[in-house]
Amino acid sequence: MKALIFATTALALTAATTAQASEELAKKHLCTTCHVVKGAKTIGPTYADVAKKYAGQKDAEARLAEKVKKGGTGVWGQVPMPPNAAVPDADIKALVKWILSVK
Ligand code: HEC
C-alpha cells in the first residue's frame, strides 16, 4: 500500500514537472510569441488545437518536429511559421511531445 502511494505520488510529480518544463521551454524559445496553449487563437494555432488535429497519428511527432525546425505554411492558414533552426533538436522534440499531450 505504501509503495503504491509512493509510486502514484512520484508519477504525479513527474507529470507536473514535465508540463511546467515544456511551457517554460516554449517561452524560452519564443514559441509563445505566436502560440497560446489553449483559448483564443493568436498568430499560430493553439497547442490544444494542434493536439486535437493530430490525435492518434503515429508519425505526427516526427512530422511536426521537422515542421517546427524548418517552418512552413498552409496547414492552418496562409500565415507562415518561420524556421526555428536555432532551437536544439532535443528541445524541439520535447516541445512537440508536450504540445501533442495538451488537452
Ligand atoms: C512568428 C510566429 C511563430 C513562432 C515564433 C512559432 N510559430 Fe509555430 N506556427 C506559426 C504559424 C503561423 C503556424 C501555422 C502554419 C501553417 O498553417 O502551416 C504554426 C504552426 C505550428 C505547429 C503546427 C504545424 C502543423 O503543420 O500543423 C506547431 C506544432 C508549432 N507551430 C510549434 C511551434 C513551436 C514549438 C515554436 C517554438 C520553437 C513555434 N511554433 C514558434 C507561427 C509561429
| Mutation pick for ligand 1 pocket among 33, 49, 68, 75 (CB with most ligand atoms within 8 Å) | 68
| C-alpha cell recorded at residue 8 | 502514484
Q: What is the pLDDT of residue 21?
A: 84
Q: How many domains does the chain have?
A: 1
Tell me, using a 6 A CB cutoff, whether residue 51 lines ligand 1. no
Average pLDDT of span 71-98: 97
Å from CA of 23 to ligand 1 middle: 15
Q: Is the pTM of this model over 0.85?
A: yes
Q: What is the pLDDT of residue 15?
A: 65
Distance CA 27, CA 30 (A): 5
Distance CA 9, CA 42 (A): 36
Tell me, using a 6 A CB cutoff, whether residue 57 lines ligand 1. no
Distance CA 90, CA 72 (A): 20
| C-alpha cell recorded at residue 37 | 496553449
Q: Does residue 81 have a pLDDT over 70? A: yes
Q: What is the pLDDT of residue 2?
A: 67
CATH of the domain at 21: 1.10.760.10
Rounded to the nearest integer, the mean pLDDT of the chain is 91
State the residue range of the domain holding 85: 2-101
pLDDT digits (tens, 9 = 90+) for 13-68: 666 677 778 999 999 999 999 999 999 999 999 999 999 999 999 999 999 999 99
Q: Is 41 helix (H, G, I), strand (E, B) or coil?
A: coil
